[in-house]
């Protein structure tokens, strides 16, 4: 007989809540569910904030959120799921950062919280009330945590760096055009 403790119940609640929010947000992007724009509309938005190509960026972001969130909620492949979701939220935080921290000002509070929680779940693991535990942690090995988080961090750094470069270049071009109009 397996006895579950408060830690396992707490991790289950944290995984279900965080994973559910991430999965719903990703479903907005991928499928247009819950009032979302779907791939086409999200792709146009991604282009407008410097993530190019927009459709590919929308697909990658949606999969990181929907897939990562779903896997986190299930407690399956927790290191990879948490890393993917954290990377997706880092990309979202980059868009919101110019508006400051707090959400009511359009800041990065919400994506930062989801990303940090996903990363923490990748590190701590899903607990015993999970598919990973049921599968004897075959997809939740200790070595997978730094590998998944490192790969996600590297990929996110490249994507966000390229996006930030595009945004800076667009701002510079806009400033130069304003000089010519004067």
Query: What is the DSSP secondary-structure string of 14-59?
Result: HHHHHHHHHHHHHHHHHH-GGG--HHHHHHHHHHHTT-SSHHHHHH
pLDDT, one tens digit per residue, over 17-50 is: 999 999 999 999 999 999 999 999 999 999 999 9
Is residue 47 in a domain? Answer: yes
128 DSSP assignment: S
- Identify the CA nearest to 37 among candidates 51, 25, 48: 25
Using one digit for the tens of pLDDT, what is the confidence trace for 88-115?
Answer: 999 999 999 999 999 999 999 999 999 9
Instruction: Specify the DSSP class assigned to residue 76.
Output: -
Number of domains in the chain: 1
Q: Which of 35, 30, 38, 134 is nearest to 77 (CA)?
A: 134
What is the C-alpha to C-alpha distance for residues 119 and 148, in angstroms, rounded to an integer?
A: 10
Kindly state whether residue 16 falls inside one of the protein's structural domains.
yes
Please tell me the predicted confidence (pLDDT) of residue 97. 95
Q: Are the CB atoms for 80 and 71 separated by under 8 Å?
A: yes
In the 8-state DSSP scheme, what is residue 139?
T
15 in a structural domain: yes
Largest CA distance in the chain: 78
Domain hosting 70: range is 6-181
Which two three-digit tokens encode residue 83? 């890393």
Q: Which residues of 119-131 are buried (b: 16+ CB within 10 A; e: fewer)?
A: bebbeebbbbbbb
Whole-structure pTM value: 0.91
Label residue 175 by pLDDT band (50, 70, 90). confident
User: At a CB cut-off of 8 Å and minimum separation 6, what does 129 contact?
Assistant: 4, 8, 9, 11, 12, 75
Would you say residue 178 has pLDDT above 60? no
In a domain, 1, yes or no: no
| pLDDT tier for residue 3 given thresholds of 50, 70 and 90 | confident
Residue 39 counted as domain residue: yes
pLDDT of 112: 97
Q: How far apart are CA 4 and CA 95, in angstroms?
A: 40
> Is 81 inside a domain boundary?
yes
Q: Is residue 136 part of a domain?
A: yes
Q: Is residue 129 part of a domain?
A: yes
């Amino acid at each position: 007989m397996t006895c579950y403790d408060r830690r396992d119940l707490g991790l289950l609640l944290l995984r279900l809540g965080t994973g559910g929010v991430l999965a719903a947000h990703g479903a907005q992007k991928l499928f247009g569910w819950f009032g979302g724009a779907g791939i086409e509309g999200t792709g146009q938005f991604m282009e407008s904030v410097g993530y190019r190509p927009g459709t590919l960026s929308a697909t990658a972001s949606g999969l990181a959120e929907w897939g990562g969130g779903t896997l986190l909620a299930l407690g399956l492949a927790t290191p990879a799921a948490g890393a993917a979701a954290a990377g997706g939220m880092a990309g979202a935080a980059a868009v919101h950062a110019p508006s400051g921290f707090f959400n009511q000002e359009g800041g990065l509070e919400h994506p930062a919280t989801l990303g940090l929680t996903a990363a923490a779940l990748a590190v701590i693991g899903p607990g015993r009330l999970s598919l990973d535990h049921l599968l004897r942690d075959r997809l939740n090995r200790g070595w997978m945590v730094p590998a998944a988080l490192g790969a996600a961090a590297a990929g996110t750094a490249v994507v966000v760096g390229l996006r930030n470069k595009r945004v800076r270049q667009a701002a510079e071009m806009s400033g130069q055009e304003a000089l010519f109009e004067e």
